[in-house]
Amino acid sequence: MPSSYYIAPAIDSASSFKDNIFKEKVLFCTGGGSGICKGMTEAIMRHGANAVIIGRNLDRLTASAKDLSNKTGTTCIPAQADVRSPQSLQDAVKKTMERFGRIDFVICGAAGNFMAPIAGLSENAFKTVLEIDTLGTYNTIKATIQHVRVTKGAYISVSATLHYRGTPYQAHVSAAKAAVDSLSNTLAVEEGPHGVRSNVIAPGFTSGTEGMRVMTGNKRNKADGFSNPLGRFTEITDIANAAVFLFSPSASFITGQIIPIDGGGEHLRGDF
Ligand code: HXC
């Protein structure tokens, strides 16, 4: 057995793509006020896109939009909406069209999560996460699709790898994310003929996110002993770079795919 294992280097924020590939493009991102979706938004803005970030907490959204605009030199605006409410999403789309006149890219990223055993989970708790993750993704697609057809744009839905096997205390999230994968696949086949693509990014455990805090209480933030083949947690930058690729012309023939960004998944390393 090897005495030490390879640990993949964390990538820096420099992108391999040209700076201006998303010039004139507009991103509509639910959940963009924080975490993974904010990271994806920043990366796409760094390549020239303007963005609208959508969430429930207007103070946080406003601060994040300012931060993203300052960091990238392009424009981000906040739009307050609860993805469970079709009307509030339609209002966010209206605001986007009034400000920027188009939608090229959509990230369906708003999600809810907490740890609870299936035997103790209330019906409302189960339903709440399905409504945020699954119905929220459906509502986002419905609110944006007519505009994305015009630009022949693309969707990324943010899923997870929890449902590839059973994950304890995640019945609600696992069921919701399995349905998100399915929605994206249907979107890809129905909208491909209109020139619209749809893919899923499925992050593994991602450092510095609310999901990581909820699932581990921040007890598992070190790479030591972590058991995916590349030996570290997912970084937000890993996901952001995948999003840049999937929206870029380099991915113009890729649709209906589910792409785990998880270092190869959890496996036993054989060093026991
Ligand atoms: C059990 C809980 C609970 C908990 C809420 N509920 N938190 N049940 N354990 N910790 C129950 C409530 O009791 C209630 O049921 C129902 O859920 C609705 O709760 P509300 O608070 O009224 O709903 P709401 O205000 O809409 O909030 C929903 C929420 C949300 C899901 C709790 O606040 C949330 O998501 N917060 C965390 C955000 C987060 O973690 N985002 C990152 C997602 S990461 P009753 O029966 O009492 O009425 C992710 C990817 C995971 O999803 C992959 C990682 C590898």
User: Which tens digits make up the pLDDT trace of 104-117?
Assistant: 999 999 999 999 99
Task: Return the structure tokens found at 46.
Answer: 């760094």
pLDDT tens digits, 30-73 = 999 999 999 999 999 999 999 999 999 999 999 999 999 999 99
What does the pLDDT read at residue 226?
61
- Band (pLDDT 50/70/90 cuts) for residue 1 is very low
Per the structure, the count of domains in the chain is 1
Within a domain: 20: no
How remote is the CA of residue 47 from the centroid of ligand 1, in Å? 34
- Residue ID of nearest Cα to ligand 1 atom 2: 125
| CB contact at 8 A, 74 and 20 | no
User: What is the sign, positive or negative, of the torsion defined by CA atoms of 3, 8, 10, 11?
Assistant: positive
Task: Return the structure tokens found at 266.
Answer: 């959890």
The CATH number of whichever domain residue 158 belongs to comes to 3.40.50.720
Within a domain: 15: no
Within a domain: 216: yes
Lowest mean pLDDT, pick from 90-94, 183-187, 207-211, 222-226: 222-226
Options 15, 159, 184, 207, the catalytic residue: 159
Within a domain: 70: yes
What does the pLDDT read at residue 219?
58
- Band (pLDDT 50/70/90 cuts) for residue 6 is confident
What is this model's ipTM? 0.94
148-153: average pLDDT: 98
pTM beyond cutoff 0.90 = yes
Is 9 a residue whose pLDDT tops 50?
yes
Q: Best substitution site from 107, 128, 215 to test ligand 1's pocket, by max atoms within 8 Å of Cβ? A: 128
Domain that includes residue 165, residue range: 26-261
How remote is the CA of residue 55 from the centroid of ligand 1, in Å? 15
In the structure, which protein residues have their CB atom closer than 6 angstroms to any atom of ligand 1?
111-114, 116, 122, 124-125, 128-129, 160, 162, 173, 205, 210-211, 214-215
Within a domain: 19: no
